[in-house]
């Protein structure tokens, strides 16, 4: 297998996955740290190594609009963005899932302005977590490649778009070995997208994207169709179905390619852990070192990594966390005026669960603030001390914050 | 020349160059060469954020026999590589180096002439001269970013020249690959401790 391993950045891994998925339409606007993804794809389209339409656009809003148009007529589409680019795209970020289009977008996680900052946190994708996309987070470059390929299978089975989130610079610009599956392996896993669900056919004209008001209404044949609320309920149901489809897809991928990523969640040294450290993305990779260090000091610690953030894997989390003493959630984003989004969601999912752990939150890495495994271990020790002092809830712990006074 | 043991847990490497000089390319080719030399865990990364041409920049690499799980910039390097000896005066290249660490400098000076702290293993190589000898010139400037890998191979013994040549051939094609390989070989031969 070693011949298939290349040392590459996370951005190259994402572009390679799009190529292997035989995407047909790519539309994107460059933004740091996403730019190398689409530069690489543009080069492959130009050289003929990738048979796809590359549509250069003047903004992220237009990039998603092109993807929506292309996906509506049945093309397999790809885009990628970061930070303010995602924010500028937001109107269409909502349209794509509402229209049930299986678009795949890589979000190379970067802090939101103001102030300007090109470095990593996860505020950008968190800000659109409610738009109805599946959101998957990656812990290393291999997972970026594998998850981006898997994302098409998930999207096309459920008719929902999938956002593949990975940390800017920490993964996007860091080179590491990545095994590249053969085109034959990926083709066997991911057949062409041929379902007619969204195809526009001149011989079978139809009205795409009509206004749908509150009440159910008759279609052109007279059959009664759902109103807005029914359409949204079906969309919600599709997201909940992803709780099954994501692990199934991961298992199918393992059968075809030989690697799996845990489906909804992943874990490290969790079996007997009393203290569970929780994060999404590459922070989870660093947490594996943290818990190994904590165990050397006699703390039974483990990692539970969030791979699927939307849909939120409530049942899987309850099963993994019941009976633990403490769940410490590290968020690289904040709902300003409240707390980290993963922390809130996790605490909510633990309510009423017998043996639920105390749930504490920590904010870290905002705007690229460095956070080392040692910093994370220190945060874990602070949380354990708070718990032992009797706390059951706690204010968000800001890691490596240097406010004056 | 003495080299470094391959069974060390993890080597942390920091690169010092100037924007446009190719330190990120050096780090990338090193990661590839190290992987080809049997290190299963390798990472290389630029300093995160923006760069300006000519301004001092750094890059980080790590080599190990297991996948690397730390993604922070290297701050306590085992090995420092300096692409341009003018950086020694401005970039604090030895900051945080582990005791007994190796510093590899592209210079025509001898190790003693560099005036670096004691306690470090100082290795020099005229990499710029090697690039000139190989006619590896782009825009009038000798390119040292790949040639320095020859000095790295000689100074550390952690990567083989075969793996450096394979990694260069993977990153460059045709006549460009040959010139880069020639320059790396010359730099390998002129490396002195």
Task: Report if residue B5 sits inside a domain.
Answer: no
Judgement on whether residues A172 and A83 belong to the same structural domain of the protein: yes
Predicted local distance difference test score (pLDDT) of residue A2:
38
Q: How many domains does chain A have?
A: 2
Share of chain A above pLDDT 90, in %: 91
pLDDT tens across A225-275, in order? Answer: 999 999 999 999 999 999 999 999 999 999 999 999 999 999 999 999 999
- Distance separating alpha carbons of residues A50 and B125, to the nearest angstrom: 42
Angle separating helix axes A141-158 and A228-257, nearest 10 degrees: 130
pLDDT tens across A96-139, in order? Answer: 999 999 999 999 999 999 999 999 999 999 999 999 999 999 99
Residue A1: band (very low, low, confident or very high) from pLDDT cuts 50, 70, 90: very low
Q: Are strands B121-125 and B102-106 parallel, antiparallel or unpaired?
A: parallel
Hey, what are A385's tokens?
A: 């001390």
Which of A173, A189, A205 is at the close of a domain?
A189
Which of A156, A189, A222 is at the close of a domain?
A189
Task: Report if residue B125 sits inside a domain.
Answer: yes
Handedness of CA A68, A74, A75, A76 (dihedral sign): positive
Q: How many domains does chain B have?
A: 1
Decide if A174 and B45 are in contact by the 8 Å CB cutoff: yes
| A266 and B CB contact within 8 Å | no
Residue A360 phi/psi, 5-degree rounding, is: -115, 150
Decide if B49 and A372 are in contact by the 8 Å CB cutoff: no
Instruction: Residue window 275-304, chain A: list those with CB within 8 Å of chain B.
Output: 282, 285-286, 288-289
Tell me, what DSSP letter sits at residue A111? P
Residues spanned by the domain of A269: 265-398
Which of A189, A224, A246 is at the close of a domain?
A189
Q: Are A168 and A118 in contact (CB under 8 A)?
A: yes
- Smallest CA–CA distance, residue A189 to chain B, in Å, is 27
- Distance separating alpha carbons of residues A85 and A210, to the nearest angstrom: 27
Beta strands (DSSP E) in A117-186 are 134-137, 162-167, 176-179
Q: Are A330 and A287 in contact (CB under 8 A)?
A: yes
The closest CB to that of B72, out of A7, A119, A372, belongs to A372
pLDDT tens across B78-129, in order? Answer: 999 999 999 998 888 999 999 999 999 999 999 999 988 778 999 999 999 9
- Smallest CA–CA distance, residue B154 to chain A, in Å, is 22
CATH number at residue A278: 3.40.50.920
Is the pLDDT score of B166 beyond 90?
A: yes
Decide if B45 and A118 are in contact by the 8 Å CB cutoff: no
Q: What ipTM did this prediction achieve?
A: 0.94
Lowest pLDDT segment from A151-155, A192-196, A266-270, A382-386: A192-196
Mean pLDDT of A317-334: 98
The closest CB to that of A370, out of B35, B42, B73, belongs to B73
The closest CB to that of A170, out of B28, B49, B71, belongs to B71
Give the rounded distance of the alpha carbon of A324 from its chain centre. 26
- Distance separating alpha carbons of residues A53 and A25, to the nearest angstrom: 5
Rg (chain A; Cα; Å): 21
CATH number at residue B80: 3.40.920.10
Share of chain A above pLDDT 70, in %: 98
Lowest pLDDT segment from A198-202, B31-35, B59-63, B146-150: A198-202
| B149 and A CB contact within 8 Å | no
Decide if B69 and A285 are in contact by the 8 Å CB cutoff: yes
The closest CB to that of A286, out of B48, B71, B170, belongs to B71
Q: Beta partners for B14?
A: B60, B80
Helix (H, G, I), strand (E, B) or coil at A195: coil
Decide if A175 and B73 are in contact by the 8 Å CB cutoff: no
- Smallest CA–CA distance, residue A106 to chain B, in Å, is 20
Decide if B44 and A174 are in contact by the 8 Å CB cutoff: yes
Decide if A176 and B32 are in contact by the 8 Å CB cutoff: no
Residue A30: band (very low, low, confident or very high) from pLDDT cuts 50, 70, 90: very high
Helix (H, G, I), strand (E, B) or coil at A130: helix
- Distance separating alpha carbons of residues A88 and A351, to the nearest angstrom: 36
SS3 content of chain A, % helix, strand, coil (to 5): 40, 20, 40
The number of residues in chain B equals 193
Task: Report if residue A20 sits inside a domain.
Answer: yes
Residues spanned by the domain of B133: 10-189
Task: Report if residue B130 sits inside a domain.
Answer: yes
Task: Report if residue B181 sits inside a domain.
Answer: yes
Which chain B residue lies closest to A140 (C-alpha atoms)?
A: B69
CA angle A289, A147, A65 (to 5 degrees): 130
Which chain B residue lies closest to A370 (C-alpha atoms)?
A: B72
Share of chain B above pLDDT 90, in %: 81
The closest CB to that of B50, out of A118, A175, A176, belongs to A118
Task: Report if residue A394 sits inside a domain.
Answer: yes
Judgement on whether residues A8 and A157 belong to the same structural domain of the protein: yes
């Amino acid at each position: 297998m070693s011949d298939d391993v290349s040392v590459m950045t996370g951005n190259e891994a994402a572009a390679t996955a799009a190529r292997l998925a035989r995407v047909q339409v790519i539309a994107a606007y460059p933004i740091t740290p996403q730019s190398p993804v689409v530069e690489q794809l543009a080069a492959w389209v130009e050289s003929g190594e990738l048979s796809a339409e590359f549509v250069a656009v003047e903004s992220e809003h237009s990039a998603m609009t092109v993807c929506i148009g292309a996906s509506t007529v049945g093309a397999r589409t790809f885009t990628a963005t970061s930070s303010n680019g995602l924010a500028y795209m937001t109107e269409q970020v909502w349209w794509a899932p509402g229209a049930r289009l299986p678009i795949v977008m890589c979000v190379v996680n970067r802090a939101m302005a103001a102030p300007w900052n090109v470095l990593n946190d996860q505020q950008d994708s968190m800000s659109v977590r409610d738009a109805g996309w599946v959101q998957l987070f990656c812990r290393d470059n291999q997972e970026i490649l594998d998850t981006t390929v898997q994302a098409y299978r998930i999207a096309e089975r459920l008719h929902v778009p999938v956002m593949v989130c990975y940390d800017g610079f920490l993964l996007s610009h860091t080179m590491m070995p990545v095994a590249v599956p053969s085109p034959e392996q990926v083709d066997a896993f991911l057949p062409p997208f041929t379902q007619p669900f969204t195809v526009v056919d001149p011989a079978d004209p139809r009205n795409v994207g009509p206004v749908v008001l509150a009440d159910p209404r008759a279609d052109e044949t007279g059959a009664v169709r759902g109103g807005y609320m029914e359409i949204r309920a079906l969309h919600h149901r599709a997201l909940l179905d992803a709780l099954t489809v994501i692990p199934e897809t991961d298992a199918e991928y393992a059968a075809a390619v030989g690697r799996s990523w845990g489906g909804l969640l992943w874990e490290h040294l969790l079996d007997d852990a009393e203290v569970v450290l929780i994060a999404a993305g590459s922070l989870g990779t660093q947490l594996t070192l943290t818990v190994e260090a904590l165990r050397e000091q006699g703390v039974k610690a483990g990692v539970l990594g969030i791979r699927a953030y939307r849909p939120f894997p409530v049942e899987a989390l309850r099963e993994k966390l019941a009976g633990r003493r403490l769940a410490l959630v590290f968020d690289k984003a904040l709902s300003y005026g409240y707390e980290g989004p993963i922390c809130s969601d996790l605490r909510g999912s633990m309510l009423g669960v017998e043996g639920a752990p105390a749930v504490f939150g920590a904010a870290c890495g905002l705007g690229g603030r460095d956070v080392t495994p040692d910093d994370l271990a220190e945060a874990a020790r602070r949380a354990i001390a708070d718990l032992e002092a009797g706390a059951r809830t706690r204010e968000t712990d800001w890691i490596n914050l240097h406010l004056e006074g | 020349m003495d080299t470094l043991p391959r069974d060390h847990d993890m080597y942390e490497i920091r690169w010092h160059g100037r924007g446009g000089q190719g330190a990120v390319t050096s780090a990338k080719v090193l990661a590839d060469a190290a992987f080809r030399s049997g290190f299963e865990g390798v990472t290389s990364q630029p300093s995160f954020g923006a760069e300006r041409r000519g301004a001092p920049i750094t890059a980080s690499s790590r080599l190990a026999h297991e996948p690397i799980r730390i993604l922070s910039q290297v701050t306590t390097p085992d090995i420092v590589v300096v692409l341009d000896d003018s950086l020694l005066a401005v970039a604090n290249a030895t900051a945080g180096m582990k005791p007994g660490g190796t510093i590899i400098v592209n210079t025509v000076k001898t190790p003693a002439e560099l005036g670096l702290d004691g306690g470090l293993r100082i290795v020099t190589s005229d990499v710029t001269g090697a690039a000139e000898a190989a006619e590896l010139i782009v825009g009038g400037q000798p390119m040292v970013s790949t040639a320095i890998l020859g000095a790295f191979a000689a100074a550390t013994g952690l990567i083989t020249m075969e793996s450096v040549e394979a990694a260069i051939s993977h990153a460059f094609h045709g006549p460009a690959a040959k010139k880069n390989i020639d320059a790396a070989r010359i730099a390998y031969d002129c490396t002195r401790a």
